Amino acid sequence: MSERGIQSKVLSVSQVARTIKSLIEDHLPEVWVRGEISNFIRAASGHCYFSLKDESSQVRCVLFRSRMSNVEFEISDGLEVELLASPSMFEKRGEFQLIAQLVRKSGLGRLFELYEAQKRKLSAEGLFDTSKKQPLVQFPKTIGVVTSLDAAALRDVCKTLADRAPNVSIIIYPSPVQGNGAGKKLAEAVMLASERSEVEGLIICRGGGSLEDLWEFNSEELIRAIARCPIPVVSGVGHETDTTLVDFVSDCRAPTPTAAATLAVSAFDDIASDLQRFLAGLSKNIRGKIDVNQQHIDYLSRRLIHPGKRNMLYANELHQLQTRLNTSVRRLFRGKESYITGAKAQLYRARPDSQRGLASLKDWQKRMHRGMLGTLNHFQTRLSSTKTSLSHLNPEQVLCRGYSIVRSEEGNILRSVKSVSVDDRLTVQLSDGALDTLITAKRLRRS
């Protein structure tokens, strides 16, 4: 053994495997590989393991579960596919392997190249320029739909238009949406809509599918027909992840047929939203005014006094005045009487025989008596006037003058003809009894 071999560092198998893996992953880029699938296994973890082979070689491959959502077809043995893969190494077994990032059926790469070439050509001619895009009609009366009569997309579009803009008419321009010659038929349908000029917006749509399924929507003939169409065109081809050349040439692009229908009548949604906001604001203002007025009514109701209660208050006040008057008069008489008695005694003591003083005293006594009688008459007059006012407020006195009180069946007093309907039964109260009546007609007083 050479000296160099003896002195060289000895690596473990794991170290060698790890070093080789790093060299492969760091220096070999992702590559597209074509081959036939064999030994396909889907593990319980969701990862897929298989071999990719050709006439002379094969290599182990792994497709992790996180990448499975990008595969639009069922993988099985014998299928010819193309992989975008990262070269790697499985350390535990020391096996070279490819980690698949994308999987497509063999031949789709050629279709994608054709798609890109077609896109570059038509874009160079200016067919995709945004400056040529037409604005959608805000409130169209008629919408055209280019699709297959059997397509689920047609049902989705019609339902969406009916829900969001039921007053919009729909005209269908039927055409196949898949298979050889479908692109030409689609172009003819677009040109027919252009010639008739009977719609204000045109939706071209179909459901999702593979690149081959949607290929006719990349037809040059169809793209040019849409570019020449004087009617605003909305594309709704496939799902959100699907893109065709129709999306680039159309005036508006929607991710799905349903979204295309929504976009075509979006102005109706805006009007509906504005109207809903206006009605909500109006309702709020009306409720606010009703609350304020109701509060004012409650305040007035608390201040309103029933006539019977008012009469009772007046009667109590009258009784209090009468009591105070009687008390004041008695107190006044007692005071003056005591004063006269004292003055008379004093006078007799001073001049028992003086007739002049006695006559003066009697004259003063008479004048005082007349004054007290005048005061008493004044209070009696006020008392009589108050009684008369109370009598006028008595509802029974009002009824004696020819008026009546009309009540509903519930006993509520009626104040307006508007609160009565024909065939209602009412009670009319008079001064000496009541009448039960049936309304046969009503007449409003003219202003």
Q: Show the tokens assigned to 422.
A: 């024909």
Asked if 143 and 199 count as a contact pair (C-beta separation under 8 A), the reply is yes
Q: Would you state the pLDDT for residue 243? A: 84
Q: Would you state the pLDDT for residue 129? A: 93
Name the pLDDT band for 326 (thresholds 50, 70, 90).
Answer: confident
Q: Which CATH superfamily, name and number, covers 111-264?
A: Response regulator (3.40.50.2300)
Packing angle, helices 355-393 and 307-350, rounded to 10: 180
Name the pLDDT band for 7 (thresholds 50, 70, 90).
Answer: low
Asked if 49 and 43 count as a contact pair (C-beta separation under 8 A), the reply is yes
3-class DSSP state for residue 32? strand
User: Is 379's pLDDT higher than 80?
Assistant: no
Distance CA 177, CA 60 (A): 39
Task: Kindly tell me the burial class for residue 105, based on how many C-beta atoms sit within 10 Å of its own C-beta (0-12, 13-18, 19 or more).
Answer: middle
Report the run of H or E that residue 62 belongs to, with start and end.
strand 58-63
Task: Kindly tell me the burial class for residue 316, based on how many C-beta atoms sit within 10 Å of its own C-beta (0-12, 13-18, 19 or more).
Answer: exposed
Distance CA 292, CA 285 (A): 11
3-class DSSP state for residue 391? helix
User: Is 294's pLDDT higher than 90?
Assistant: no
Q: Show the tokens assigned to 125.
A: 């001619």
Distance CA 261, CA 203 (A): 7
Tokens 């109590």 locate to 316
- Domain range 8-106, CATH class: mainly beta
Q: Would you state the pLDDT for residue 258? A: 92
Tokens 């039927």 locate to 174
Name the pLDDT band for 227 (thresholds 50, 70, 90).
Answer: very high
Distance CA 103, CA 67 (A): 9
Residue type, 214: L
Per-residue pLDDT tens over the stretch 43-97: 888 899 998 888 888 888 999 888 887 787 788 887 888 888 888 877 777 778 8
Query: In this structure, how many other beta carbons lie within 10 angstroms of the beta carbon of residue 33?
Result: 17
Q: Which among 216, 227, 244, 231 is positioned nearest to 125, based on CA atoms?
A: 227
User: Is 270's pLDDT higher than 70?
Assistant: no
Q: Would you state the pLDDT for residue 252? A: 93
Q: Would you state the pLDDT for residue 1? A: 46
Asked if 85 and 125 count as a contact pair (C-beta separation under 8 A), the reply is no
Q: What is the DSSP string of 295-323?
A: HHHHHHHHH---HHHHHHHHHHHHHHHHH
Q: Tell me the torsion sign for CA atoms 283, 288, 294, 297.
A: negative
Q: Would you state the pLDDT for residue 446? A: 72
- Top-confidence range, 147-156, 237-246, 384-393, 401-410: 147-156
Instruction: Return mean pLDDT, the chain.
Output: 82
Q: Show the tokens assigned to 388.
A: 């008369």
Task: Kindly tell me the burial class for residue 11, based on how many C-beta atoms sit within 10 Å of its own C-beta (0-12, 13-18, 19 or more).
Answer: exposed
Distance CA 255, CA 243 (A): 9
Per-residue pLDDT tens over the stretch 169-219: 999 999 999 988 999 999 999 999 999 999 999 999 998 877 778 889 999
Per-residue pLDDT tens over the stretch 146-179: 999 998 999 999 999 998 888 899 999 999 999 8
Packing angle, helices 266-303 and 257-264, rounded to 10: 60
Asked if 128 and 249 count as a contact pair (C-beta separation under 8 A), the reply is yes
Asked if 82 and 108 count as a contact pair (C-beta separation under 8 A), the reply is yes
